């Protein structure tokens, strides 16, 4: 009987068949795109899909890459332990989508970039671009390792397969279709994987509702268990999740991921027009709403089933991220193939995120390091370099999974890493986009200052995790367990995001205030420190008087909430005439219609003269 505690069934033959079939089919989509586009083997085709993608597949790909194995496994566990406060991220996704679509999409299209860090050299200097790219590579490699590790842990829990064998297999599958197919293979594979991931959540919810006598019972159990206390307006910045930490901190954190993170930006700049790119972000917002809602409901279903017998406290699982896989085998084992579907869902999330990360790492390495160093490289040579770098970064990500194996609460750890590193980077971009007085000296000092501060608070939080009264983990019981290992109701102590020492450590003065800052505020702290320091240093060093700044590097009023807007023929002509060597974006799809219009205009003038 589900919910009674003790061991659960393992994979059946049909589960292996379903799992293997779905994964092979997903990889086959990627290989099909590789074969289909083999005649268009240019570097731009490999990295940006020829800039001819449309909004819907790109939106699904954006959502699928968000739905990593960490999301599939970690978010339901979040609802199970902490309640539905995490659902407030739906508001953060709306704010993030607006910032990304209305500020950064027009800018990146206007400049026609491949790597987002090209902007840093255009606006500041080469050194800042190299630092920004290096920060991105380090953060993405570690995060991707965590993404590989999470579902491998699930497979190990459910099937008993060797953990490291699964890790290597995950990386190998991604390497194959990333190396051969490029971005198009990644995007179209993501579309299929998105369907599989949502199907995994639905299977858990439907079966749980049947066992519990309907969704009403699940909702009722969650209400009396304190899981539905979503809105907390406590302004305390040390509170892990509240309305303010999620709306303010969460919005900026996700904005940093979608606005300047190469893995996400590379998708929407592959769209054929600005309108398609903006639309893909807004459609992705809806996809994120559906995703987080299903994940929360899966967590509530899990709580309803295990409210009287917590598998973790009862020692049926060894980590919080194994809770959902344990539930799957507990309630779906009677339906051969469904556990395989769920594991394929977690695995698909991993393939999606890892493949996009590999493709993005290749893009920034080639665009920011190799092309500037060796400008004479031919398209054929670049294509071979792209494939070689895909293999290299795939191997690096597999290696980083070993580091991730030391993590505990993998969802929080992943978001903390993003906040610590990408927050200062977003502050640097905002400094460059909105403040004409900011110069390269201010940008460099601001970036370094922001990074030092966020690493200080972030690493301190890993070493000295917040006390239980700030994390507010909800009580869980083992009174209903059949095979009881623990016979009293308990409130579990919080996991540390990293492996802690077994010996008690004295807590320093900063541990209960500065180090206890909500992990969602790491990003806003980095943004503020970077921008304020950058502005002050820029003012001291004379602003941008000695630095010529091109006007197209700043945000324009016409960029905001403008779908299908085009520069006039005269504006494009003026840009070409004034700075023909600097307007890199004129070959971007945003200018495509204008170029056609100008050519047609020239042809008409020639015919008229004739």
The mean pLDDT of 465-494, rounded to a whole number, is: 61
C-alpha to C-alpha distance for 586 and 259, rounded to whole angstroms: 21
Contacts (Cβ under 8 Å, ≥6 apart) of 388: none
More confident residue, 258 or 469: 258
More confident residue, 538 or 603: 538
**Which 3 state secondary structure label does DSSP give 407?**
strand
Under the banding of pLDDT at 50, 70 and 90, the label for residue 563 is low
Residue 497: pLDDT over 90? no
C-alpha to C-alpha distance for 446 and 20, rounded to whole angstroms: 49
The mean pLDDT of 250-277, rounded to a whole number, is: 84
The pLDDT value recorded for residue 576 is 39
The mean pLDDT of 192-221, rounded to a whole number, is: 87
The pLDDT value recorded for residue 304 is 92
Under the banding of pLDDT at 50, 70 and 90, the label for residue 220 is very high
- CB contact at 8 A, 221 and 307: yes
The pLDDT value recorded for residue 296 is 93
Q: pLDDT by residue (tens digit) across 420-466?
A: 888 899 999 999 999 888 888 999 999 999 999 998 988 888 777 77
More confident residue, 32 or 307: 307
CA distances from 456 to 261, 410, 430 (A): 22, 20, 22
The rounded radius of gyration (Å) of the Cα atoms in the chain is 25
More confident residue, 584 or 47: 47
Q: pLDDT by residue (tens digit) across 107-147?
A: 888 888 877 888 998 888 889 998 988 888 888 887 777 77
The mean pLDDT of 10-34, rounded to a whole number, is: 77
Residue % of the chain over a pLDDT of 70:
73
SS (H, E, C) 487-521: CCCECCCCCCCECCCCCCCCCCHHHHCCCCCCHHH
Under the banding of pLDDT at 50, 70 and 90, the label for residue 405 is low
Lowest mean pLDDT among 164-178, 287-301, 569-583: 569-583
Lowest mean pLDDT among 54-68, 279-293, 441-455: 54-68
Under the banding of pLDDT at 50, 70 and 90, the label for residue 491 is very low
The mean pLDDT of 504-527, rounded to a whole number, is: 81
The mean pLDDT of 291-316, rounded to a whole number, is: 89
Query: What is the value of pTM for the model shown?
Result: 0.78
Average confidence score pLDDT of the chain:
76
Break the chain into its structural domains and give their ranges.
13-420, 566-610
Lowest mean pLDDT among 81-85, 192-196, 347-351, 497-501: 497-501
The pLDDT value recorded for residue 298 is 93
The pLDDT value recorded for residue 458 is 84
The pLDDT value recorded for residue 450 is 93
Under the banding of pLDDT at 50, 70 and 90, the label for residue 37 is low
Residue 232 sits at φ, ψ, to 5 deg, of -125, 120
Tokens found for residue 145? 């390792």
More confident residue, 462 or 185: 462
The pLDDT value recorded for residue 68 is 67
Whose structure tokens read 């807004």? 282
Crossing angle between the packed helical segments 338-365 and 13-36, to the nearest 10 degrees: 30
CB burial class (10 A; 0-12, 13-18, 19+) of residue 551?
exposed
C-alpha to C-alpha distance for 354 and 348, rounded to whole angstroms: 10
Residue 580: pLDDT over 50? no
For 13-420, which CATH superfamily applies? Sodium/glucose cotransporter (1.20.1730.10)
Residue 44: pLDDT over 60? no
Residue 573: pLDDT over 50? no
Q: pLDDT by residue (tens digit) across 222-235?
A: 999 888 888 888 88
Tokens found for residue 32? 């099909």
Q: Which residues of 293-319 are buried (b: 16+ CB within 10 A; e: fewer)?
A: ebbbbbbbbbbbbbbbbbbbbbebbee
Q: pLDDT by residue (tens digit) across 138-173?
A: 888 877 777 777 667 666 766 666 777 777 776 777
The mean pLDDT of 312-322, rounded to a whole number, is: 79
Tokens found for residue 172? 């190998």
């Amino acid at each position: 009987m589900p919910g009674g505690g003790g061991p659960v069934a393992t994979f059946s033959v049909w589960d292996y068949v379903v799992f293997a079939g779905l994964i092979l089919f997903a990889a086959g989509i990627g290989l099909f795109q590789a074969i289909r586009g083999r005649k268009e083997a240019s570097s731009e085709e490999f990295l940006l899909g020829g800039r001819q993608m449309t909004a819907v597949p790109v939106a699904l790909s954006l959502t699928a890459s968000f739905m990593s194995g960490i999301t599939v496994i970690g978010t339901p566990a979040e609802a199970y332990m902490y309640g539905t406060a995490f659902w407030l991220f739906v508001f953060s996704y709306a704010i993030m989508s607006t910032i990304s679509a209305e500020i950064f999409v027009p800018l990146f299209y206007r400049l026609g970039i491949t790597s987002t860090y090209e902007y840093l050299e255009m606006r500041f200097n080469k050194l800042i671009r190299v630092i920004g790219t290096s920060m991105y590579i380090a953060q993405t490699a570690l995060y991707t390792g965590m993404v590989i590790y999470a579902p491998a842990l699930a497979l190990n829990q459910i099937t008993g397969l060797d953990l490291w064998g699964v890790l290597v297999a995950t990386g190998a599958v991604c390497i194959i279709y990333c190396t051969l197919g490029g971005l198009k293979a990644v995007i179209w594979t993501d579309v299929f994987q998105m369907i599989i991931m949502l199907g995994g959540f639905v299977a858990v919810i439907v079966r749980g509702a049947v066992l519990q006598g309907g969704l009403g019972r699940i909702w009722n159990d969650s209400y009396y268990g304190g899981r539905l206390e979503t809105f907390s307006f406590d302004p305390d910045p040390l509170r892990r999740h509240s309305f303010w930490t999620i709306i303010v901190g969460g919005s900026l954190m996700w904005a940093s991921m979608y606005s300047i993170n190469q893995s996400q930006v590379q998708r929407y700049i592959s769209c054929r027009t600005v309108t398609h790119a903006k639309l893909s972000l807004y459609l992705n917002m809806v996809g994120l709403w559906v995703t987080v809602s299903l994940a929360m409901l899966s967590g509530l279903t899990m709580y309803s089933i295990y409210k009287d017998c917590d598998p973790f406290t009862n020692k049926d699982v060894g980590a919080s991220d194994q809770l959902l896989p344990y539930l799957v085998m507990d309630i779906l084992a009677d339906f051969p193939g469904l556990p395989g579907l769920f594991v394929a869902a977690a695995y698909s999330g991993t393939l999606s995120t890892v493949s996009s990360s590999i493709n993005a790492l290749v893009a920034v390495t080639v665009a920011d390091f190799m092309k500037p160093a060796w400008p004479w490289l031919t398209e054929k040579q670049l294509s071979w370099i792209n494939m070689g770098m895909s293999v290299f970064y795939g191997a690096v990500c597999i290696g980083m999974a070993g580091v991730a194996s030391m993590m505990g609460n993998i969802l929080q750890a992943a978001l903390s890493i993003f906040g610590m590193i990408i927050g200062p980077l977003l502050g640097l971009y905002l400094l460059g986009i909105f403040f004409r007085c900011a110069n390269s000296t201010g940008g460099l000092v601001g970036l370094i200052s922001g990074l030092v501060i966020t690493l200080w608070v972030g690493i301190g939080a890993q070493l000295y995790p917040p006390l239980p009264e700030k994390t507010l983990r909800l009580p869980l019981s083992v009174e209903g367990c059949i095979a009881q290992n623990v016979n009293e109701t308990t409130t579990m102590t919080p996991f540390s995001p990293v492996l802690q020492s077994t010996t008690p450590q004295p807590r320093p003065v900063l541990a209960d205030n500065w180090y206890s800052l909500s992990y969602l505020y790491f990003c806003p702290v980095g943004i503020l420190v970077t921008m304020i320091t950058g502005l002050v240093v820029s003012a001291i060093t004379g602003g941008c008087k000695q630095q010529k700044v091109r006007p197209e590097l700043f945000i324009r009023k016409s960029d905001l909430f403008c779908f299908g807007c085009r520069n006039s023929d005269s504006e494009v002509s003026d840009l070409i005439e004034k700075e023909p060597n600097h307007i890199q974006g004129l070959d971007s799809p945003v200018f495509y219609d204008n170029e056609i219009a100008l050519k047609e205009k020239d042809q008409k003038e020639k015919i008229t003269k004739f």
